[in-house]
């Protein structure tokens, strides 16, 4: 029989669990946070209908016109709660050294004291939702369970889109336990941090000026307070599937990465799988759903943000997407740049946050076709195409079920994943970095990843357009010492047959000419780069060796029908030794941050690069 929670306090709205550990934790959280009610999520359609209706009632959601966006909703956040807060994100390892020089750290006991103070009574006047979820497949060999407890209905409905969740997941945990196994689950506590006093009206977007996004890596535990925004609040995503999972991956010999996964099929029917790590808002979702411009090639999507990769018995690197939805950047998404995303969204069942709301109950954002004559901006103000302000926040997002994507590869549903042939690293750089470069070997590829640089974007709070090192596009997501993380990457090449591991490439879609225009048209045209990559792997395409790696030989890239001059292409591919020499001291300074924790191999790679540039 199901156990019940002490009913002195909150009203429990549905069945809890036979799992003593989960029940004890939920009870402990309820005693601390004092919610009015506890709701155990089932993940059913009825639950979705109830929760979305309650969000309409509080003014958080506006239902979109069902004729254009069925079962879909518009939300506008508090203007201060629009992105990940890297300054407020902590890795609270027992030993400070284990969080490394790239993370914020506080002693875990001290952090818990501080946060218990914030959590005390923080759910008063609200319902606490208990969300059993699994990242990856529920039938995986070792399913990666989590229980998110949150006082936000917005987070609950978003979690239903982004992760496999609900009764089925809880039943699976209970079943494994009953069978004598010890299924591990990550406790993930979230509160918007805005209790309601009796009679106090709620606001559309509750949040708190004080924010903490905290990972306790040894305990595999997450505590988040004060924000309702995606990466801060949907705890299965960045907090679990990257920060906590990267620690598990280090301990167990696999990789948890900020990567898309795609399947590429040539006109001859040959299939390859590509994973690519680009920093936030640097093109993963767009590449994952790419519509090739070169005839006969097709791309199918497997994932757009996170890849978990393990070396299989065959020695190849197998990748799964642990997520269940897309949480994509809205601005710039349109019928030309990402027709498959548009088609996915139009099927409905989606949440749009911080975009504009049109008078006919649709959404609009910068870059979308057919601007409306009038709309309400994300700030709730009247907006017209003549307005000085943007209609949508630069980090506004759509949240949509992955199963609605018509080009989702069948392999998405395979718990074994897909064997990766190529890994791309990429960043947003106006200068210096060529359109595509092939690494000489695994260690050189790891060096490319470890030194990846990119201009900051609106996906995180802070200045935009500042070049920073973002190793493997994981700077905000490595759950441990980044020096050890580099060592783990190097170790993957040492512990396994490097010949069977993916080949590594470095791409840059964002190089500019003197007038500030993009040298490369990007989007669907990136299929030409993918083709060159595949042909390199198969030993077909020619390359020239440069100090930084192999770049396409003149004429080796398929530019048939492309509206780019030879001159522009040459500029996009150019390796300028002077620009690269200017990078060397920056890379040196970056590496010095890690002291003795930096693998010596990376210093030798830097020496090799310097020597080649000087030669």
Which residues contact Mn ion (rule: CB under 5 A)? 280, 305
Measured CA distances, 527 to 33, 265, 442, 532, 558 (Å): 51, 11, 24, 9, 10
Q: Is 211 annotated as a binding residue?
A: no
Q: How many residues does the chain have?
A: 615
Q: Is 117 annotated as a binding residue?
A: no
Q: Is 526 annotated as a binding residue?
A: yes
Which residue intervals of 100-165 are DSSP H helices?
108-119, 153-162
Which residue sits closest to ligand SPV, CB atoms considered?
A: 231
| Pick 72 or 280: Cβ nearer ligand GTP | 280
286 binds, among ligand SPV, ligand GTP, Mn ion, none (CB under 5 to 8 A by kind): ligand GTP
| Pick 127 or 437: Cβ nearer ligand GTP | 437
Distance CA 263, CA 146 (A): 29
Q: 327 to 346, contacts with ligand SPV by CB under 6 A?
A: 327
Cβ 550 to Mn ion, closest distance in Å? Answer: 28
- Token pair 């718990």 is found at 415
Distance CA 57, CA 51 (A): 10
Question: In this structure, what token pair is assigned to residue 541?
Answer: 């395409």
User: Which of 376, 450, 389 lies closest to 605 in space, CA to CA?
Assistant: 450
Q: Is 399 a catalytic residue?
A: no
Distance CA 27, CA 38 (A): 10
- Token pair 């709309």 is found at 375
Selected binder of ligand SPV within 19, 39, 84, 550 (CB under 6 A): 84
Q: Is 283 annotated as a binding residue?
A: yes
| Pick 224 or 280: Cβ nearer ligand GTP | 280
| E strand or H helix that includes residue 5 | none
Distance CA 246, CA 144 (A): 13
Q: Which stretch binds ligand SPV (CB under 6 A): 170-178, 229-237, 341-349, 536-544?
A: 229-237
Q: Is 84 annotated as a binding residue?
A: yes
Q: Is 142 annotated as a binding residue?
A: no
316 binds, among ligand GTP, Mn ion, ligand SPV, none (CB under 5 to 8 A by kind): none
CB atoms < 10 A from the CB of 132, how many? Answer: 28
33 binds, among Mn ion, ligand GTP, ligand SPV, none (CB under 5 to 8 A by kind): none
* Most distant pair of Cα atoms in the chain: their distance: 77
Q: Is 305 annotated as a binding residue?
A: yes
| Pick 122 or 394: Cβ nearer ligand SPV | 394
| Pick 33 or 280: Cβ nearer Mn ion | 280
Q: Is 396 annotated as a binding residue?
A: yes
Contacts of 195 (CB under 8 A, 6+ apart): 34, 121, 122, 123, 124, 125, 126
Is 231 a binding residue for ligand SPV by CB under 6 A? The answer is yes
285 binds, among ligand GTP, ligand SPV, Mn ion, none (CB under 5 to 8 A by kind): ligand GTP
Which entry of 92, 207, 239, 282 is annotated as an active-site residue?
282
- Whether the CB-CB separation of 162 and 397 falls below 8 Å is answered with no
Q: Is 103 annotated as a binding residue?
A: no
| Pick 215 or 376: Cβ nearer Mn ion | 215
- Whether the CB-CB separation of 174 and 19 falls below 8 Å is answered with yes
509 binds, among Mn ion, ligand SPV, ligand GTP, none (CB under 5 to 8 A by kind): ligand GTP
Start-to-end C-alpha separation, the chain: 75
Is 479 a binding residue for ligand SPV by CB under 6 A? The answer is no
Is 305 a binding residue for ligand SPV by CB under 6 A? The answer is yes
Cβ 336 to ligand GTP, closest distance in Å? Answer: 10
Contacts of 349 (CB under 8 A, 6+ apart): 70, 71, 72, 161, 400, 401, 404
Binding site for ligand GTP (CB under 6 A): 278, 280-286, 304-305, 328-329, 331-332, 337, 459, 509-510, 518, 522-523, 526
Q: 415 to 474, contacts with ligand SPV by CB under 6 A?
A: 459
Rg (CA), the chain: 24
Q: Is 230 annotated as a binding residue?
A: yes
Cβ 351 to ligand SPV, closest distance in Å? Answer: 13
Q: Which is it for strands 185-191 and 144-150: parallel, antiparallel or unpaired?
A: parallel
| Pick 155 or 534: Cβ nearer ligand SPV | 155
Is 280 a binding residue for ligand SPV by CB under 6 A? The answer is yes
237 binds, among Mn ion, ligand SPV, ligand GTP, none (CB under 5 to 8 A by kind): ligand SPV
Cβ 24 to ligand SPV, closest distance in Å? Answer: 30
- Whether the CB-CB separation of 269 and 217 falls below 8 Å is answered with no
Distance CA 486, CA 469 (A): 14
| E strand or H helix that includes residue 588 | helix 577-592
Q: Which stretch binds ligand SPV (CB under 6 A): 197-205, 231-239, 418-426, 553-561?
A: 231-239
Cβ 613 to ligand GTP, closest distance in Å? Answer: 28
595 φψ region: left (φ > 0), alpha (ψ -120 to 50), beta (else): left
Measured CA distances, 479 to 13, 239, 240, 256, 306 (Å): 35, 9, 9, 10, 14
Q: Is 524 annotated as a binding residue?
A: yes
- Token pair 């649709």 is found at 362
Cβ 609 to Mn ion, closest distance in Å? Answer: 28
- Token pair 């396409």 is found at 552
Catalytic residues: 282
- By CB under 6 A, name the binding residues for ligand SPV: 84, 230-231, 237-238, 280, 305, 327, 459
> Which parts are annotated binding residues for GTP?
281-286, 397, 428, 523-526
State the binding site for substrate. Answer: 84, 229-231, 280, 395-397
Binding residues: 84, 229-231, 238, 258, 280-286, 305, 395-397, 428, 523-526
């Amino acid at each position: 029989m199901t156990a019940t929670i002490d009913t002195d306090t909150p009203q429990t709205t549905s069945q809890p669990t036979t799992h003593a550990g989960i029940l004890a934790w939920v009870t402990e959280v309820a005693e601390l946070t004092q919610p009015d009610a506890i709701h155990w999520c089932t993940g059913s359609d009825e639950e979705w209908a109830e929760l979305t209706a309650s969000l309409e009632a509080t003014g958080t959601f506006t239902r979109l016109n069902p004729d254009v966006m069925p079962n879909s909703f518009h939300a506008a956040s508090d203007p201060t709660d629009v992105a990940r807060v890297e300054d407020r994100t902590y890795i609270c390892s027992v030993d400070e050294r284990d969080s490394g020089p790239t993370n914020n750290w506080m002693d875990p006991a001290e952090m818990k004291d501080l946060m218990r103070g914030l959590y005390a009574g923080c759910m008063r006047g609200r319902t606490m939702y208990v969300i059993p979820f699994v990242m990856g497949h529920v039938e995986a060999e070792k399913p990666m369970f989590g229980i998110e407890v949150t006082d936000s209905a917005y987070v609950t409905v978003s979690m239903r889109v982004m992760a496999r969740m609900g009764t089925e997941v809880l039943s699976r945990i209970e079943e494994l336990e009953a069978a004598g196994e010890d299924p591990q689950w990550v406790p993930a506590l979230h509160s918007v941090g805005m209790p309601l006093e009796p009679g106090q009206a709620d606001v559309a977007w509750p949040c708190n000026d004080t924010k903490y996004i905290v990972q306790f890596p040894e305990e595999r535990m997450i505590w988040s307070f004060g924000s309702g925004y995606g990466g801060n609040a949907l705890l299965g995503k960045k907090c679990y599937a990257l920060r906590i999972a990267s620690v598990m991956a280090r301990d167990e010999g696999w990789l948890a990465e900020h990567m898309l996964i795609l399947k590429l099929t040539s006109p001859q029917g040959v299939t390859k799988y590509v994973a690519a790590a680009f920093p936030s808002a640097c093109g993963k979702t767009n590449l994952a759903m790419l519509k090739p411009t070169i005839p006969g090639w097709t791309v199918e999507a497997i994932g757009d943000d996170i890849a978990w990769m393990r070396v299989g018995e065959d020695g190849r690197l197998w990748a799964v997407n642990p997520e269940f939805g897309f949480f994509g950047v809205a601005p710039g998404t349109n019928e030309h740049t990402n027709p498959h995303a548009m088609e996915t969204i139009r099927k409905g069942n989606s949440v749009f946050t911080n975009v504009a709301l049109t008078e006919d109950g649709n959404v609009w954002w910068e870059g979308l076709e057919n601007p409306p004559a009038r709309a309400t901006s994300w700030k709730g103000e009247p907006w017209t195409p003549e307005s000085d302000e943007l209609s949508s926040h630069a980090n506004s997002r759509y949240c949509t079920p992955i199963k609605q994507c018509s080009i989702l590869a069948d392999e998405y549903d395979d718990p074994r994943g897909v064997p990766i042939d190529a890994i791309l690293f990429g960043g947003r750089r106006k200068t210096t970095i060529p359109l595509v470069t092939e690494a000489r070997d695994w260690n050189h590829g790891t060096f490319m990843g470890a030194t990846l640089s990119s201009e900051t974007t609106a996906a995180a709070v802070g200045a935009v357009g500042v070049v920073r090192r973002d190793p493997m596009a994981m700077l905000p997501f490595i759950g441990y010492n980044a020096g050890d993380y580099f060592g783990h990457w190097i170790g993957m090449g040492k512990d396994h047959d490097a010949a069977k591991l993916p080949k590594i490439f470095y791409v840059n879609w964002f190089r500019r000419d003197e007038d500030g225009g993009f040298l490369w048209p990007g989007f669907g045209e990136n299929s030409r780069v993918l083709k060159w990559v595949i042909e390199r792997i198969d030993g077909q395409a020619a390359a020239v060796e440069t100090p930084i790696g192999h770049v396409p030989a003149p004429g080796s890239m398929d530019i048939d029908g492309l509206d780019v001059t030879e001159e522009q292409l040459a500029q996009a591919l150019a390796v300028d030794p002077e620009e690269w020499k200017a990078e060397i001291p920056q890379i040196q300074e970056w590496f010095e941050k890690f002291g003795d924790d930096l693998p010596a191999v990376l210093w030798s790679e830097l020496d090799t690069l310097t020597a080649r540039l000087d030669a």
